[in-house]
Structure 1
Amino acid sequence: MSANRFDDLLHRIRPHINHAATHSSPVKLEERLAVTLRVLASGNSQKSVAQSYRLGSTTVSLIVTEVCEALWSALCSDFVSLPDKNKWADISQEFWRVWNFPNCLGCVVGKHVFIKAPPNAGSGFFNNKGSHSLVLMAVCDANYRFSMVDIGAYGREGDGGVFQECMFGSSLLHGTLELPPPANLPGSTTTVPHVFLGDAAFPLHQNLMRPFPGTNLDDTQRIYNYCHSHARRVIENSFGILAARWRILRRPIDFHPEKTVKVVKACVALHNYLSSTDDANTPATLASDSNLLDAGQLSKAQATRAAISARNDFKSFFLSPQGLVPWQESVLRRGTLN
């Protein structure tokens, strides 16, 4: 982060942090922001960061909580707000231009954010992977920016109902999101709805596509799955960039769940803020370096006929001259004798 970006960030959060002068040497706002960014970016414990800044551990803990909450309040409306109809249309065009998937409004994923077991928490945060976690639902656009995040569900809820209960999933399944109307596929008269792309953990819905399940698939289904996964990897890359920038997400977070929610929201807001600037570097990382793992099955909803028909229309489009890419056949035959 450049000095100019730091100053701009300082200016944005200043209205959200107010302190009465109770003694002669208060911790300045500049120092509060620097301490918080150090904790988030380094992944070091609050105690070690406190020693570096010659502050008390409790003071640093309070500062991190306060500044993370201010960062989300200051940045969410400008950088993490749910798009309107015009913005959805721009995202759809970018997915077609960059990822060769038409009528796509974003990629959605559910992740476990692993935490240290909270005291007296029982089994609420204990997930099917044998650890304690919160569930993070997120949607990203074609340029690795998050357009929606929802975090806070108990880790044990990862199997079944998280998607229907979160704000985005509930709005999508009940048709209350202000999505663009169905449109023709490029160079075609076939009209399909605008969709989000999810993995096998999500239900097949009219506005939410998932790959064809199983291994005994024909060539057309395998080609669709390739095009689907090719576009959907943008969400995995987004989380890789997020964890590379903010290394606190590379290990189980040793905070109370309420504070963990504030920290993750602040990291997402900062990720979008830096991604929207022209001088921000984008680091790369491997998925294995992250403390964010797939949440497993997120819904048990049954597919409708409209959803099955929409996926079949996309499948046919990727076999047409307007939708195919030159290398998809070679990818399909990779590893075979022919």
Structure 2
Amino acid sequence: MGKKSTNFIASLPVRKRVAIALWKLATNSGYRSIGHLFDVSKSLVCWCVQDFCKAVCTLLAPEIVHFLDREKFKDVADYFENRWGLPQCIGAIDGSHIPIIAPREYYTDYFNRKGWHAIILQGVVDGKGLFWSVNVGKPGSLCDWVGQGGMYPVCTKDICGVNVGYYVLGDSAYPLQNWHLKSFPDNDRLTPEQQTYNKKTSRAWVIVENAFGRLKGRWRCLMKRNDSDIKLDKSMVLTCCALHNLCESHGEDFHQDWNTSLEEPVLVIAAQDIEEECSEIHQAVVRHLNV
């Protein structure tokens, strides 16, 4: 992010350029207001934000927001089992709509069901609330989700007579897969075993809701519409996810008055037909949690 000074003007120090970008991400103030605050031009504020997000997405994000390797999968699964009693679970998944200005091209694709333009952020977090998979940029009109299946290492464990591989947890709106488990829909006819399963899996799944709440609480640019183009919006979202992991892993204090009320989750198209293998894995975990 460093720039060279010229004979006509001194370059802005990197520390100040970073401070300008962080202020934008944390407050979502307008470029003009930030320019007055830091005594720089509006255009320079925009350049600082662009350069900072580009640097984070290029250098920092690949290091701290990345798909886990085989050893990390085992560590995450062990943590989930020790804390919530869920064997083979490697994460919790959820999605959120991020407000944007309507793009010039294909703007109708980004108009979501709530009546505003948005891009979709889908994230998977580990048991500590750190993002290890982030997908951002799908148009807000879509109800589908970005699957992660087939990418996990093959490592099965016998659970109540069924070989269960690694899986992630989602809410009842997501489709059931052999690598993705969800709670039973609450139709007032659940068995005691199903109710126990729902209680224990929901208690673990809430970690991703908390992660989204803390993410948006720290970085307000995700809460309100940005006066940026869609390419920069995507870069800002990924940057905020990387900074979230950085803050959480270093134990930065989170003040409760930063908490935000989360919007309703992204709806997805549930699968109509559940494969027999998925049902067997689902039922095996149900039995395990009721032992």
1:316 aligns with 2:290: no
Residue segments in structure 1 that go unaligned for 5+ positions in a row: 1-16, 164-168, 321-338
1:183 aligns with 2:183: no
- Cα drift, residue 310 of structure 1: 0.6
Question: d(CA) in 2 for partners of 1:189 and 1:121?
Answer: 50
Letter in 2 for 1:266: T
Aligned residues: 288
Task: Report what 1:329 is aligned to.
Answer: none
1:210 aligns with 2:182: yes
Question: d(CA) in 2 for partners of 1:180 and 1:189?
Answer: 18
Q: Which segment is superposed worse, 116-125 or 255-264?
A: 116-125
TM-score normalized by structure 1?
0.80
Question: d(CA) in 2 for partners of 1:294 and 1:287?
Answer: 14
- Cα drift, residue 298 of structure 1: 4.8
Structure 2 residue aligned with 1:82, among 67, 78, 99? 67
Question: d(CA) in 1 for partners of 2:20 and 2:2?
Answer: 17
Identity of aligned residues (%): 25
Question: d(CA) in 2 for partners of 1:69 and 1:231?
Answer: 34
Relative to structure 1, is the Cα distance of residues 116 and 300 closer, same or farther in structure 2, using a 3 angstrom cutoff?
farther
Q: Which segment is superposed worse, 86-95 or 74-83?
A: 74-83
Q: Please report the RMSD computed on the Cα atoms of aligned residues, expressed in angstroms.
A: 2.0
Q: Per the alignment, in what secondary structure is the counterpart of residue 127 of structure 2?
A: coil
Letter in 1 for 2:202: S
- Cα drift, residue 115 of structure 1: 1.8
Task: Report what 1:200 is aligned to.
Answer: 172
Tell me if the contact between 1:112 and 1:293 (Cα under 8 Å) persists in the aligned partners: no
TM-score normalized by structure 2?
0.92
Structure 2 residue aligned with 1:263, among 236, 240, 251? 236
Task: Report what 2:39 is aligned to.
Answer: 54
Letter in 1 for 2:60: L
1:141 aligns with 2:112: no
Letter in 1 for 2:21: T
Q: Deviations over 1:84-124 (max 9, x none)?
A: 01000000011112222221000011211122333455311
Q: Per the alignment, in what secondary structure is the counterpart of residue 202 of structure 2?
A: helix
Q: Deviations over 1:28-76 (max 9, x none)?
A: 2111101011111123222211110111111101210111111122212
Question: d(CA) in 1 for partners of 2:192 and 2:72?
Answer: 35
Tell me if the contact between 2:97 and 2:266 (Cα under 8 Å) persists in the aligned partners: yes
Letter in 2 for 1:103: Q
Residue segments in structure 2 that go unaligned for 5+ positions in a row: none
Question: d(CA) in 2 for partners of 1:117 and 1:298?
Answer: 25
Task: Report what 2:199 is aligned to.
Answer: 226
Q: Which segment is superposed worse, 119-128 or 107-116?
A: 119-128
Matches within 5 A, 1:297-336: 297-298=268-269, 300=271, 302-320=273-291
Letter in 2 for 1:184: D
- Cα drift, residue 189 of structure 1: 5.8
Letter in 2 for 1:78: E
Question: d(CA) in 2 for partners of 1:302 and 1:238?
Answer: 31
Task: Report what 1:328 is aligned to.
Answer: none
